[in-house]
Amino acid sequence: MYERMMEIMKGVGTPKVLVVGDFMLDHYLFGNIDRISPEAPVVVMNVTERQEQPGGAGSVVADLAALEVAVACMGVVGDDANGRKLCDMLAEMAGVNIDGLVSDSARPTTSKQRIVGLAQHRHRQQLMRIDEEDTGDISEATQEELRKRLDKLVAWCDVVCLEDYDKGVLCHSFAQQVIAAAGAAGKKVIVDPARLSDYSRYAGAWLVKPNRREVGIATGIEINGNENWHEAVGQLARDYDIANLVVTLDKSGAYLYQRDSDKGELIPTRPRSVYDVTGAGDMVLAALGTLIGAHYDNIEKPTLEEVVRLANVAGGLEVEKFGCVGITRGEIIAELSRERRDQRGKIYTLALLLQELEWQRDKTIVFTNGCYDLLHPGHIELLNFAKKQGDILIVAINSDRSVRELKGESRPILKEQDRMALVSALEMVDYVVLFDEETPKAIIEQVSPNVLIKGSDWTGAVVGQGWVESHGGKVVLMPLVAGRSTTGIIDKVLASYGEK
């Protein structure tokens, strides 16, 4: 399964996505909180940092840009400093077209200012949010300006994403015009809905992605089990002519309903350490748009179930970060690789390792090798040092036969399976592989790492150095602390035994 998921991500290409909805500007004010104000019972924050970034539909655009997708924006900004700032930020993103953004002097640019305190100067905690907005429907004149640009952008794109925060752009009349135009052009429409009881503005959409609370509001059905999910989303599909629904369920994953088959399925996700849920829904929409809009010329087109599984991964990675932070294709592939490694372990044959590395060549691959007989603090220090030199750490371990060739018939103390198991249990190690030759030259040339690590006590030329450097890599020597060696431990044990 994981190979198939990674293959899909590799085969996405560069789809073209039209994002229509409520574009916002997010302001973040960060500071340290050390005292209570003498003027009132409130905390005093000393500002240390300010940030601005696109929010709302702009956050979806940023997420799509991180996924290397071509994007066109359609929405409304105010004729004000925030609107100009937002347009500039979006235009600076690679592959983003802002020709569909209309300036309306009668409304402010929707903006949200978040006050974020740093508890003990470390842990971020949102204290307050200040909004500036007009949530009324956009005027008929503004709708007309958007309509003039709609057909051209729909013809250009592969898929249309609607990001609705109920701030007036996706009012009933304009949302229906977008869905109708997309339908006439044969383009799918994916909707991240607002918290509404009436989904008529989304009628005819190909896919709608509410969260669990939004489903309850839209249907009036109390959700308490899989049968209720099926009842609720089935009702939405029938009442509003929606072909598919994906209900995001936080740590429980997502519930996928496909109207044609009247089939519902719970798609689980891996539990996460949630740092901030802000933007997770935007990231899921961006992933859905990317995967559904892609053409997949060289591989079999993914099923909707596979698409939702991948979107779950993207959303899960986003909640582990603070704020709205785009997730890249490389991060999704790396996460899939980690999940597969967690499932099958870290010990690989060379053939399987080389297959695995085909998905990892955009990362910095670090390689080190040794006998690792009687694991000791010196080994731990070297491996920690090695991991800091790149993204992926591979440890090649001498076979029992090669250890005997190097160190004599009394070694190794531990068999190769035990030595590999101990090293693979270390958090900093990503892959463990066995080699049978007296030197690691052959395996280094096949792995072709970016960084080759050796202890500074090594004398002479480092085995594999020429190959690594000729392929753009480097050799790094780690300073070693004297007296930390397996031989020293064995000698000490033997001396102690002899004294008895």
Same domain, 373 and 333: no
CA distances from 218 to 279, 284, 414 (A): 22, 20, 63
Same domain, 36 and 67: yes
Average pLDDT over residues 262-280: 67
Same domain, 352 and 298: no
Phi, psi angle pair for 272, to nearest 5°: -120, 160
DSSP 278: T
Number of domains in the chain: 2
pLDDT of residue 136: 96
User: Considering the chain, what is the average pLDDT of its residues?
Assistant: 89
d(CA 320, CA 351): 33
pLDDT above 90 for 362: no
pLDDT of residue 225: 63
How distant is the alpha carbon of residue 122 from its chain centre? 23
Q: How confident is the model at residue 276 (pLDDT cuts 50, 70, 90)?
A: very low
Same domain, 98 and 74: yes
pLDDT in tens, 68-77: 999 999 999 9
H or E, element range at 115:
strand 110-119
Same domain, 169 and 308: yes
Phi, psi angle pair for 223, to nearest 5°: -90, 120
pLDDT of residue 281: 86
What residues does 136 pair with on adjacent strands? none
Q: Please report, as a single letter, which amino acid is at residue 260.
A: D
pLDDT of residue 498: 61
CATH number for 448: 3.40.50.620
Which two tokens mark 222? 């109390």
Q: How confident is the model at residue 323 (pLDDT cuts 50, 70, 90)?
A: low
d(CA 220, CA 97): 39
Last residue of a domain, which of 338, 360, 381? 338
Residue pair 164/194 in contact (Cβ under 8 Å)? The answer is yes
What residues does 450 pair with on adjacent strands? none
What residues does 125 pair with on adjacent strands? 117
User: Which one is predicted more confidently, 201 or 492?
Assistant: 201
CATH number for 51: 3.40.1190.20
pLDDT in tens, 117-148: 876 656 778 889 999 999 999 999 999 999 99
d(CA 440, CA 126): 52
Sheet containing strand 43-56, edge to edge, reads 43-56, 23-36, 110-119, 123-132
Last residue of a domain, which of 304, 338, 372? 338
pLDDT of residue 353: 92
d(CA 136, CA 144): 16
Q: How confident is the model at residue 500 (pLDDT cuts 50, 70, 90)?
A: very low
**What is the per-residue DSSP string for 33-77?**
EEEE-SSSSSEEEEEEEEEEEEEEHHHHHHHHHHTT-EEEEEEEE
pLDDT in tens, 246-268: 998 877 788 999 999 988 888 88
Same domain, 113 and 236: yes
State yes or no: is 342 an active-site residue: no
pLDDT in tens, 182-215: 999 999 999 999 999 999 999 999 999 999 899 9
Same domain, 319 and 424: no
Q: Which of 282, 373, 400, 430 is catalytic?
A: 282
Q: Please report, as a single letter, which amino acid is at residue 483.
A: G
Last residue of a domain, which of 338, 364, 380? 338
Average pLDDT over residues 138-161: 97
Instruction: State which residues form the domain around 440.
Output: 345-499
d(CA 2, CA 187): 29
Helix (H, G, I), strand (E, B) or coil at 155: helix
**How many H helices and E strands in the chain?**
17, 19
Same domain, 76 and 211: yes
Average pLDDT over residues 428-434: 96
Dihedral sign for Cα atoms in the order 407, 410, 415, 418: negative
User: Which one is predicted more confidently, 103 or 317?
Assistant: 103
Same domain, 301 and 349: no
User: CA dihedral in degrees (324, 329, 335, 341; nearest 10)?
Assistant: 180
d(CA 168, CA 492): 77
pTM (predicted TM-score) = 0.78
pLDDT above 60 for 433: yes
Q: Please report, as a single letter, which amino acid is at residue 316.
A: G
Q: How confident is the model at residue 459 (pLDDT cuts 50, 70, 90)?
A: low
Q: What angle do CA 375, 377, 383 make, to 5 degrees?
A: 80
d(CA 164, CA 201): 10
* Tokens 């002097």 -> residue: 105
Q: How confident is the model at residue 473 (pLDDT cuts 50, 70, 90)?
A: very high
Q: How confident is the model at residue 324 (pLDDT cuts 50, 70, 90)?
A: low
pLDDT in tens, 373-421: 888 888 999 999 999 999 999 999 999 999 999 888 988 989 999 999 9
Same domain, 301 and 397: no
Residue pair 116/124 in contact (Cβ under 8 Å)? The answer is yes
Same domain, 368 and 398: yes
Q: Please report, as a single letter, which amino acid is at residue 390.
A: G
d(CA 279, CA 59): 7
CA distances from 226 to 217, 222, 267, 304 (A): 17, 12, 12, 19
Q: What angle do CA 57, 323, 196 make, to 5 degrees?
A: 45
Same domain, 334 and 452: no
pLDDT of residue 83: 97
